[in-house]
Amino acid sequence: MCRSIKTLRPPALAEEATDAEIRAAALQYVRKISGFRAPAAHNREVFDRAVDAVAAATAELLDGLEVRGAGVRRAG
């Protein structure tokens, strides 16, 4: 899918994912599925809302994952 999106959970990351890393992954995902690197002005609002929604869903997923043996959970 998006090769530039990296895994954001242990053991792929030694530490918990930062908000900046989560947002960057969300931005890459929305860029990929929309086909726009930077949307036109008339699409900016919906593009930004999609990035926010994907970032929130990603943070929720990471907060809820239990990675056995890793002992790391994301602090929201």
Token pair in block for residue 9: 């959970």
Stated pTM of the model: 0.80
User: What is the per-residue pLDDT for 3?
Assistant: 65
| Residue 49: inside a domain | yes
Total number of domains in the chain: 1
Question: What's the CA gap between 18 and 59, in Å, rounded?
Answer: 9
Q: Which domain holds residue 41?
A: 19-64
User: For residue 33, which amino acid is it?
Assistant: I
pLDDT of 5-47, one tens digit each? 788 887 777 788 899 999 999 999 999 999 999 999 999 999 9
User: What is the per-residue pLDDT for 31?
Assistant: 95
Question: What's the CA gap between 8 and 39, in Å, rounded?
Answer: 26
Nearest of 67, 45, 46, 55 to residue 18 by alpha carbon: 55
| Residue 14: inside a domain | no
User: What is the per-residue pLDDT for 74?
Assistant: 52
| Residue 12: inside a domain | no
Three-class secondary structure of residue 60 per DSSP: helix
